[in-house]
Structure 1
């Protein structure tokens, strides 16, 4: 009988999880910096670090679990399906190559979806 693991067994797996988190945060920061630079901010780096996702009131939150929009939910599900299919249907070097290319692309796309959602929400609040 096989038991499911709750936490990684070795340091390599922890580095992989940490790398995914860093890639997501770096992508969000780069997108915020680029947006601030295009908008003509005097200090785009400082503006990018100060860029926070707006807090939403209870009435405006979409009822899709922890996700704020159906695009975020569908993007997460599609990324999870792709990673699961690669992990289940491949092995060896092919699996390693696909995981090293598809996982970073999925993480960057999810960060982009989150950034766009936050930017759209900020622009919508500015008009009212």
Structure 2
């Protein structure tokens, strides 16, 4: 397989990966901040940064590295959608669609993960 690569070849691709990861993290923090603000927390920014699970976190064993099958299904649906857009389009249309679709799907995944983490915290 000569087309398969393990790491990006140029700096632009690294910036794209870094941007997607940053968008995901910012989405998680935004949703946590908004939830803390709705609950009337005195310091919603601090609550948003402390939102991540501590040492008593629920193990992510049921579906591989995912907490639920819903998260796994969301990840697969996003991967299939991005792959279909990349394969079925070309040129400017591909770039335009990917610049629209990927950020929207990344924020949707961060919201799904936020909801699953919130459910896990409420059960304990």
Return the index of the structure with the highest Cα Rg.
Answer: 1
- 1:49-60 → structure 2 map (5 Å cutoff): 49-53=49-53, 55-57=57-59
- Inter-partner Cα distance in structure 2 for 1:90 and 1:122: 41
Any runs of at least 4 consecutive aligned residues in structure 1 with deviations exceeding 4 A, and if so which? none
TM-score where L is the length of structure 2 = 0.93
Report the equivalent of 2:21. 21
Structure 2 residue ranges without an equivalent (≥5): none
Query: In the alignment, is the contact (CA less than 8 A) between 2:37 and 2:44 conserved in 1?
Result: yes
TM-score where L is the length of structure 1 = 0.90
Structure 1 residue ranges without an equivalent (≥5): none
Query: In the alignment, is the contact (CA less than 8 A) between 2:24 and 2:106 conserved in 1?
Result: yes
Report the equivalent of 2:91. 92
Q: How big is each residue's C-alpha offset from its partner over 1:49-94, in whole Å with a ceiling of 9 and x where there is no partner?
A: 111125115xxx5421111101101100100000000111111000
Report the equivalent of 1:63. 62
